[in-house]
Amino acid sequence: MKSKILKVISIITIVPFVIQFIIKQRKKSILRKKVLADGTNDYEGTAKNIANSISKSRSLYKELITKVHPNNFNDDRIELATELSSKITKAKRNYEELIQLKIEVEEFINTKTE
């Protein structure tokens, strides 16, 4: 009788760990699919973007959003500033996209001063 109870207790204690392991594996699989969603197997480039996104994207985001925030403009460029601002916010944690948006922001600022 005691051995049956011990078996049941051991199974009950192991099941949550197994479920947790399966959930972690599924999350990793989903993340892997998201990272490689573009269809390439460029792990080095993807890893570099992830590292840069973690370390550099916040400061670049702040720099870009302060330059093109719609409250800074009173003229007809407010719509374009709003559009750029929303693009920057969507790419907040993607360093490569923020670099591309930086070019757009510089063009926007240059046309503003001319």
Is 0.75 topped by the overall pTM?
Answer: no
pLDDT at 43 over 80: no
78 and 36 Cβ atoms separated by less than 8 Å: no
84 and 104 Cβ atoms separated by less than 8 Å: yes
Of the two residues 24 and 50, the one the predictor is more confident about is 24
Confidence of residue 22 (pLDDT cuts 50, 70, 90): very high
Tokens of 51: 């590292």
Of the two residues 35 and 82, the one the predictor is more confident about is 82
pLDDT tens digit sequence for 65-85: 999 988 888 878 888 889 999
Q: Which helix (H) or strand (E) holds 38?
A: none
Which residues 6+ apart lie within 8 Å of 78 measured at CB? 70
* Contacts within 8 Å (CB) and 24+ apart, 72-76: 73/112
95 and 53 Cβ atoms separated by less than 8 Å: yes
Domains of the chain, by residue range, sit at 56-114
Rounded distance between C-alpha atoms, residue 94 and residue 104, angstroms: 16
What value does the mean pLDDT take over residues 40-69? 80
